[in-house]
Amino acid sequence: MTVTATYTVKGMTCGHCVSSVKEEVGEVAGVTSVEVELESGLLTVSSDEPVEQARIAAAVEEAGYELTGRS
């Protein structure tokens, strides 16, 4: 079973921003896929089982950006 959650990230302005977020979130235990849309700020995370939003938020903050909510 794959679980997908979508969040909004604030502060990304370029392709490097997208890469940083993808890399950090991709390192969260259980995450199997990460998609980031620069224009909309949407972050889509797929995992084998639900991942706590706090863990996703911490990874986004580690990349230097802010998770503003779940879509």
In the chain, % of residues over pLDDT 90: 94
- Can you tell me the mean pLDDT for 16-39? 98
* Of the candidates 54, 58, 69, the residue with the CA atom closest to the CA atom of residue 6: 69
| CATH number of residue 36's parent domain | 3.30.70.100
Number of domains in the chain: 1
CA nearest to 58, candidates 26, 18, 25, 23: 25
Q: Give the domain range for residue 32.
A: 3-70
Output the average pLDDT for the chain: 96
Residue 18 burial class via C-beta count within 10 angstroms: exposed 0-12, middle 13-18, buried 19 and up: buried
